[in-house]
Structure 1
Amino acid sequence: MIKPFALQEGDRVAVIAPAGPSDRENLKQGIRVFEKMGLEVIIGRHVFDGEEKLAAADQKRLADLHETFFDPTIRGIFCANGGFGTARIAPMIDYAKIQRNPKIFWGYSDITYLLNAIQRHSDLVTFHGPMVATDLNDEIRTAETESSFLPLFTRESLTYDSRKMPLKTLTHGIGEGRLVGGNLDLLTNGLGTPFQVNTKGAILLIEEIGAPSFLINAMLTHLKQAGVFDEIEGVVIGDLQAGPDEYAKIKVVLQDFFAYAPFPVVKGFHIGHCQPNYGVPLGTNAKLTTSPAQLVIDTGVR
């Protein structure tokens, strides 16, 4: 896998919206966080063009992605928010040219589709993490979420354990491999397409927002029957954003589904639609252990 270059103070980065439209004020507040890090921030030309609940028409959102990737003065690309529609532009992306212009590409939720597509067809490490308008606005931003961006500067590896969040082991073991995955719904939607997540020898990250227990069960079953879990090394379960009653049902689904898994499974990671929302590189090597429960991930930059 190709690792993009680390960021330095003074670098130029871009914010784009490959999915839904952004709230202007929230986006401004998030951009100020990057400016405090010493970065110069530009906004994609079509971020506010808004058409049919998308940030812009497909060709315009694609243009922002291509223009920012191919601009040699830009060192990182951060998505403003999720929504829907990223799958529509995946077949039109020039993956070969992205491979020749590697740089940080960061987002989650609906952006999962692009994280996996770029990783699979450009061999580029991508980043699952908090987005500019959604997670860095003044109302919900936390210091822990902000800290997710520091390894992009320091090249440090990441360690997530019970000192940072309450973790629970569903299946014991040790697994090591590339960290892949993202939003469960988007992973399921990608099955049978050229952008399906490659889990062979990998540790799979899953997170979701507001899905009821029966749908979680259906999506996991779909992944299983598609062979996603056949050659996997471990499963990392991020935030599932469900109310207490529904989460109690989801716990039963997870316990039942992974009861006899031949790989380690740990849940409770603050990754996904939550605060704090910790960022992780996808495509780099990771090690998942259960005694104690811990996820260690190699740096995603060089």
Structure 2
Amino acid sequence: MPLAVSLIAPSSFTAPEAVADGIRGLASLGVAVHFDEPLQAPDRYLAASRERRLAQWHAAYDDPETQAVWAVRGGFGAAQLVDGIDWARLARRPKPLIGYSDVTVLLDQCHRHGLPALHGPVAKAAGGLLEGDDTRRAVIHRQFEETLALISGPAPLDYPLTPHRDTPPTLTGPVVGGNLTTLASLVGTPMAFSAPRGALVILEDVGEPYYRLERALWQLVHGGALNAAAAVCLGTFEGCTPYGETPLEVIVAETLAPLGLPLFSGLPIGHGLHNRPWRYGATGCIANGRLRIPR
């Protein structure tokens, strides 16, 4: 039976041509895409009003013919949906939500409510399967193939890591996190991120100067979000601008110092070309310079 997914637009408006390219890219992998027309009804910078986005969200989970719910993009607005979600309704037909960036808040909420979630490329990124040089297309193809495999069920993942400072030889715990700015924006709200005990917290971001990244991380640290975490792992920070010569890892290490958390970097996860998927909340193991999620 061919794979089918429900496409949703829970956050910012996406150019229609980018949506069309993403759908064609998914079709090239044999994926059928379901969505109610029109996918978007722009409201300011949002894909649609809150009410329309919520209706689309519930309809995506209600669709008996799809095996996953895929966000077309991130941006802004996903947090507006959380207090209107009927979680019992979703649980009647559980299926993984796929996305990242602003969708981080929805991934975390799905996990909290016992629903599967995949931190991975948004649907519009599938347009990259159809253009660009062979090397770029191969990277994108691998990421989407890995994501499709995770829709079908647990699959082993293995990613490189670079340790900073002295770190324990082995760390094992649930893998959570996502976009740093999005997580920081939730501090002090009912949907605030709180790392589970022993968590391996992945952080990534895009287009932010280093001082804003430091401010966001300071919010998480001093808001208690990382109190129970076992480690922080940095993905990519695409287009994030430094101040002087200080590396981002040094800034992060200094900000994490009150918690004494081990720090790793180099994960191929984030807003750049490399954005390999992972199962939100799955048990991961850090050892020998690798993050492995066995199944």
TM-score clears 0.5: yes
Matched, 1:160 2:159: yes
Aligned match of 1:251: 249
Match of 1:177 among 147, 170, 173: 173
Cα deviation digits, residues 233-257 of structure 1 (max 9, x gap): 2211111113574595323312323
TM-score (norm 2): 0.87
Unaligned runs of 5+ in 1: 1-8, 162-166
* Deviation at residue 200 of structure 1 after TM alignment: 2.4
| Equivalent pairs, count | 283
- Do 1:118 and 1:126's aligned partners in 2 also have CA atoms closer than 8 Å? yes
Unaligned runs of 5+ in 2: none
Aligned match of 1:220: 217
- The aligned amino acid for 2:270 is G
More displaced 10-residue stretch of structure 1: 146-155 or 42-51: 146-155
Matched, 1:13 2:5: yes
Matched, 1:63 2:46: no
In 1, Cα distance between equivalents of 2:243 and 2:294:
34
In 2, Cα distance between equivalents of 1:71 and 1:37:
21
- Do 1:14 and 1:44's aligned partners in 2 also have CA atoms closer than 8 Å? no
Aligned match of 2:20: 28
Cα deviation digits, residues 218-268 of structure 1 (max 9, x gap): 111111112222211221111111357459532331232346864432111
- Do 2:110 and 2:117's aligned partners in 1 also have CA atoms closer than 8 Å? yes
> Percent same amino acid among aligned pairs?
28
Counterpart secondary structure, 2:254? helix
Counterpart secondary structure, 2:48? coil
Backbone CA RMSD of aligned residues: 2.2
In 1, Cα distance between equivalents of 2:42 and 2:78:
14
Q: Spell out the pairing of 1:109-188 with structure 2 (5 A cutoff).
A: 109-120=101-112, 122-134=113-125, 136-137=127-128, 138-139=130-131, 142-152=140-150, 153=152, 155-161=154-160, 167-171=161-165, 172-173=167-168, 174-188=170-184
Instruction: Assess, with a 3 A threshold, how the Cα gap between structure 1 residues 108 and 245 changes in structure 2: closer, same or farther.
Output: same
- The aligned amino acid for 2:109 is A
Aligned match of 2:91: 99
In 2, Cα distance between equivalents of 1:242 and 1:94:
37
- Do 2:25 and 2:126's aligned partners in 1 also have CA atoms closer than 8 Å? no
Counterpart secondary structure, 1:238? strand
Instruction: Write out the 4+ residue segments of structure 1 that deviate beyond 6 Å after TM superposition.
Output: none
- Do 1:187 and 1:196's aligned partners in 2 also have CA atoms closer than 8 Å? yes
By relative contact order (CA 8 Å, sep 6+), the higher-ranking structure is: 1
- Do 2:23 and 2:126's aligned partners in 1 also have CA atoms closer than 8 Å? no
In 2, Cα distance between equivalents of 1:47 and 1:57:
12
* Deviation at residue 125 of structure 1 after TM alignment: 2.5
Instruction: Assess, with a 3 A threshold, how the Cα gap between structure 1 residues 148 and 136 changes in structure 2: closer, same or farther.
Output: farther
Matched, 1:283 2:281: yes
* Deviation at residue 168 of structure 1 after TM alignment: 2.2
Instruction: Assess, with a 3 A threshold, how the Cα gap between structure 1 residues 134 and 233 changes in structure 2: closer, same or farther.
Output: same
Aligned match of 1:4: none
